[in-house]
Structure 1
Amino acid sequence: MNMKKIFNIITILLLTVFTTSCLDSNLEDLDTYKGKDIIGIAGVYHRYYGSQTIPGSGEQQVLQSALSYDNFQADAETGTSSFECKLPSNFPAEERPKFTMSNVVVSLNISTAAMIQPIDGAAVLGKPGDWSKPNKYEITAADGSKKVWTITAYFLQE
């Protein structure tokens, strides 16, 4: 064997020994998050088709306008939450007559490491959905515990 091969073999053996660990005790226990709550609203939007087409695909442009939202309330004991939204003053004039709460995009903030899933036909978060009625969601905490929340959006006319 030449010297280069011996050096490579010794290097690989040393890397194998030094990059492994035999430590299997005295590790600190990490917290498992138990939170399964709705913390707040991340955004409320209205999506619509623009007048231009996208050059690469030839599809019609999709635009999004943020709605104003306020008065977020959450009751962890009853699993209910609500918020109010309205069209802001800079909302596109041509979209105002077309706006309906049955086609709104909502994003929520939830507890750390939790997952949320729509139930009973609720709107899928982050996609246009029907917010003209209360929506139910099941939130699963990192520890596996679950809680059902009912969220109601109120539209305020200007």
Structure 2
Amino acid sequence: MKHTVSKWLVMLLCIPFVIACDWEELPAYEEAEISAVQFYYRWASDIKDPITGEPVVKEQRLDTSNKVDQTKATIEVTVTVPDAKGDFNETIRSQVSAGKLWGQVTVSTAARITPIEGSAPLGTPDNWSQERKFRVTAANGKNKDWTIKIVQFRK
């Protein structure tokens, strides 16, 4: 008990010194950019989780090339489905379409991204056969609305 009281007393005595410090105000990041888009396909495998009994989800990253126009806030993506290999067999590969993909983006430091105009949140399946829109909010509060569109889907 005595040690606990001593620790609290020392901590309370240190608080005025910490508060008195002249903390430098750092500028907030102003950028609200998307620099890259990646796509994944996920499927339930035949393997069951030993604890839950649910199917284990497998994932395959799709090859992408991005054409980013920061002025217009648009990204045109070419997606190529890789060859069948391992768990990603020909049966699974044949099921891949732009209609059900999981998207991921690279955004500016400290920025947040939210879906707008009916787009699903990133990291969840969405129909990417039509363009999707997202709002990127910079750390300083500045917003920029982005449009992402798959312009070519190669199998």
TM-score by length of 1: 0.83
Q: 1:113 aligns with which of 107, 110, 113?
A: 110
> Are 2:93 and 1:96 aligned?
yes
Deviation string 1:92-133 (CA, Å, 9 cap, x unpaired) is 211122111111011101011111001111132111111111
Q: 1:80 aligns with which of 74, 81, 85?
A: 74
Q: Aligned equivalents of 2:102 and 2:114: distance in 1?
A: 15
How far is the alpha carbon of 1:139 from its aligned partner? Answer: 0.8
Q: Aligned equivalents of 2:63 and 2:121: distance in 1?
A: 20
- RMSD of aligned residue pairs (Cα, Å): 2.3
How far is the alpha carbon of 1:15 from its aligned partner? Answer: 4.0
Contact 2:98 2:153 in 1 (8 A): no
3-state SS in 2 of match to 1:83: strand
Q: Aligned equivalents of 2:74 and 2:123: distance in 1?
A: 20
The aligned residue for residue 137 of structure 2 is: 140
Task: Using the aligned pairs only, state the percent identity.
Answer: 27
Matches within 5 A, 1:1-158: 12-21=8-17, 22-23=19-20, 26-41=22-37, 43-70=38-65, 72-89=66-83, 90=85, 91-158=88-155
Contact 1:101 1:155 in 2 (8 A): no
How far is the alpha carbon of 1:157 from its aligned partner? Answer: 2.4
TM-score by length of 2: 0.84
User: When the two structures are aligned, how many residues end up with a matched partner?
Assistant: 151
How far is the alpha carbon of 1:69 from its aligned partner? Answer: 1.1
Q: Aligned equivalents of 2:23 and 2:50: distance in 1?
A: 55
Q: Which amino acid aligns with 2:67?
A: Q
In the alignment, structure 2 segments of 5+ residues that lack a partner are none
Q: Aligned equivalents of 1:16 and 1:9: distance in 2?
A: 11
